[in-house]
Structure 1
């Protein structure tokens, strides 16, 4: 509870500042930044807890597809590079010249690489380095993350991937985590029939984490994604029973240049859709009256509405929830709270 409660204190304090400070003041701007950072941290902690629970209970499913692991690793490195720059740690990448194809869940594999990189930068001091490499070895792909950070004591290595390992908790608490990142890596890699191991020369001598995954036999031409036209304003219908969530989302989307209407239950949302003819619908699942699944089914069954892009925006975020959303007719599934940048990209492409 210590780590989950920690972000709440600066959020509450910052809210007080926003209530009393001039909205244009530096204090207000700093408070907004604090809230954004702490909400991101809290969301990550909750996601980690939920994923570890699903893995330990055998309820987390992976959705495999043909995946270029080299491209995924490169994207993950690019996504995390600002964190390395901010922490004064050099990130080196050594990737093969050719694609390495695997059957994997792209979201979960990105999570694996991201957790490894986050773990490495967290325990590497300013001025240090982290090396990310990918190569083929025999019939498998080998992903390595090496660093010259604080290292791992030999007695900790055997417990490194256990959830809530006391040694890792001590380290993570200093840095605001739960010590679940590597537990998640192990669980996700094993769901892909892979293995993960850690080595270290001891305290102060850095560490290396190695992930091995089976590769796809043979090769095929990579499919080319169609080019998207430039972004243009969209008609967006938000169906969400939480007034604060719906209204703040409306304001954010309007600031992006979109025309937005809000409905606070499923039936009203369908009625609004006939008049508004939205391009994109952001719909919660747990709605009063009829739930989001039924809303999606009615949209897909009606020729007048079925052209809209349906996006489930919900706290129901398990693999089974994603499957049910897809079966009901949703094109995308985004877990709450959404990253605004991701939402902007999806709505603009809807």
Structure 2
């Protein structure tokens, strides 16, 4: 134990007490300096350094009653030191602090010097973070006749220490998350790299070539899902997630999700049992986000169920609430793991990890997206190897919503039957030459006439001379960004005949008021499905215009 720098005077004590105090403190640590001043010399002077130090010093009897205190006690307990003499320590500090101090005080009375830091909730001054030092008061023959207790208030330093610890923990958590992200992206990249190298070597027949393309497509979709989940969690935390709420038939969204997860479920050879009601189950929801919710739950069930397992999907509506249950025969969940299951970057315990573990964001997004749409999520499990059940509850909408849904479906069918359009003229604007080249090739294969430029100035000049049907405009352009291009284009006559689509790695909600400058928004990477839907809708529009 070290009390470096502490100088204690025992003035005001009787001579026998002074001798005992000096001997006890010297035995407690040779860095403690004790200055003995006879009582007669100090009667008319202030108490010495012991009363000016920001340290509470007290001597206690074997019965843990106060027999000496310095003036610092008066500041904390509102009474002069003489008034505190004879007070039991338990009564002085209060029950909460005594629970913390009782054992160290008993250790000191047993002859042991004790030093530790702790939060004390003191009856007089409230909660303080203190350094407590208990020094046994012993005779020359070793008999313990009491103890000295020193308390130093470290509350200001504790606040700074806690902040530092918080930053350190946040930094450690960030590093763990980044490491997990790198690991999860490396897995699909390794597979893609391997099959690409095989194709480059030219030793692949038609079947091998087809399988390689399927693997690349599957792993690319997996990486897209990882990146999407990361961005969605960030958007939700910023409050910038964009929801398009409208009446939806939950049965159709469940079926769409099952179709989207067919490949994953098929890879694991799971048996899926689906129970859907005959009548529509209408909810007011964002179609894309709700499909994402159901797909994430299905993916979770497939991931944590051994190959050939059972997955049940049940939907029912009662008392104005739609209840979707997804149950699996998988590894189950321990009771103490359920509480943090929906926390960001949380995963099952290590024993339950699978090779396709993921980032631990799927269930976080399920909970957040469902709650943003007025619903709730619950999870049940009887423990390890007992499977799990997730239930999504959403309020059912009115009968009027069903009619609106039917009208919209009829309108969409009419537009679809109008006829298909010929290839569109598409301008790709992106400062990444590889992106421009790849998009032009993809659009050409899809039957459209595509060209590209790498900056905003060239884009405006091209549109002015030969307006295309559609412009895919990157937002993050150098010198003149996509938003400024859109502003300038809004003042040109050609804008009336051009569909302007923002193509960005950021969601439409991050564009703020500038989103109104665009007719649509594509989130990178925009694959053939997203492009096909966009170009198909534009083609139908052109057919109607003609």
TM-score (norm: length of structure 1): 0.88
- Do residues 310 (structure 1) and 475 (structure 2) align? no
Contact 1:160/1:168 (CA < 8 Å) preserved in 2? no
The structural deviation recorded for 1:238 is: 0.8
For 2:422, the equivalent position in structure 1 comes to 232
Taking CA–CA contacts closer than 8 Å with sequence separation of 6 or more, which of the two structures ends up with the larger relative contact order? 1
Q: Look up the match of 2:528.
A: 340
**What stretches of structure 2 of length at least 5 have no aligned partner?**
1-178, 539-546
Return closer, same or farther for 1:348/1:192 CA change in 2, 3 Å cut-off.
Answer: closer
- Determine if contact 1:140/1:215 at 8 Å carries over to the other structure: yes
State the match for 2:444 in structure 1. Answer: 254
Number of residues of Structure 1 aligned to a counterpart in Structure 2 = 348
Cα separation, 2, equivalents of 1:336 and 1:156: 35
1:115 CA displacement: 0.5
User: Take 2:514 and 2:451, find their aligned partners in 1: how far apart are those partners?
Assistant: 22
SS at match of 2:496: coil
Tell whether the 8 Å contact from 1:235 to 1:279 is kept in structure 2 after alignment: yes
Please name the residue that 2:235 is paired with: 54
Structure 1 residues 115-194: aligned runs within 5 Å: 115-167=296-348, 171-172=352-353, 174-194=355-375
The Cα of 1:305 is off from its aligned counterpart by 3.1
Match of 1:80 among 253, 258, 261: 261
Answer yes or no: is the 8 Å Cα contact 1:117–1:145 preserved in 2.
yes
In the TM superposition, 1:324-335 aligns within 5 A as 324=513, 326-328=515-517, 330-335=518-523
In the superposition, relative to structure 1, how do residues 324 and 120 fare at CA in structure 2: closer, same or farther (>3 Å)? Answer: farther
**169 and 231 in structure 1: CA distance in 2 versus 1, 3 angstrom threshold:** farther
Instruction: Deviation per CA, 1:102-151: give whole Å up to 9, x if none.
Output: 22222211111110111112222333222222221212211111122222
CA distance in 2, matches of 1:343, 1:256: 9
SS for the counterpart of 1:7 is: helix
Choose which of 265, 272, 281 in structure 2 pairs with 1:91: 272
1: CA distance between counterparts of 2:514 and 2:503? 10
Give structure 1 stretches of 5+ with no counterpart: none
Deviation at 1:63?
Answer: 3.1
Q: Which residue of 2 aligns with 1:213?
A: 394
RMSD of aligned Cα (Å): 2.6
Seen in structure 2, the aligned counterparts of structure 1 residues 30 and 136 have a Cα distance that, compared at 3 Å, is: closer
Q: Which has the larger radius of gyration?
A: 2
Checking the alignment, whether the CA contact within 8 Å between 1:143 and 1:211 is kept in structure 2 is yes
Once the two structures are TM-superposed, the CA of residue 3 in structure 1 deviates from its matched residue by 2.0
Query: Is the CA contact (8 Å cut-off) linking 2:501 and 2:522 kept in structure 1?
Result: yes
Q: Which deviates more from structure 2 when the two are superposed, residues 33-42 or residues 241-250? A: 33-42
Equivalent-residue separation in structure 2 for 1:43 and 1:343 (angstroms): 15
Task: Name 1:295's counterpart in structure 2.
Answer: 485
Q: 1 CA distance for matches of 2:488 and 2:496?
A: 8
More divergent stretch after superposition (98-107 vs 160-169): 160-169
Query: 8 Å contact 2:429–2:472 — kept in the other structure?
Result: yes
Cα contact 1:149–1:206 (8 A) shared by 2:
yes
Moved more, 283-292 or 160-169: 160-169
Residue aligning to 2:460: 270
Structure 2 contact 508–521 (Cα < 8 Å) conserved = no
Shift of 1:186: 0.7
TM-score normalized by the length of structure 2: 0.59
Q: Which residue of 1 is the match for residue 33 of structure 2?
A: none
SS of residue matched to 1:6: helix
1:281 aligns with 2:471: yes
- Distance 1:137-1:305 versus aligned 2 partners, 3 A rule: same
Measure, in 1, the Cα distance between the counterparts of 2:490 and 2:224: 32
Distance 1:231 1:152 in 2: 52
Q: Distance between the aligned counterparts of 2:482 and 2:347, measured in 1?
A: 42
Structure 1: how far apart are the matches of 2:381 and 2:470? 50
Describe how 1:102-117 pairs up with structure 2 within 5 A. Answer: 102-117=283-298
Q: Cα distance 1:59–1:260, how it changes in 2: closer, same or farther (>3 A)? A: closer
Structure 1 stretch displaced more, 216-225 or 109-118: 216-225
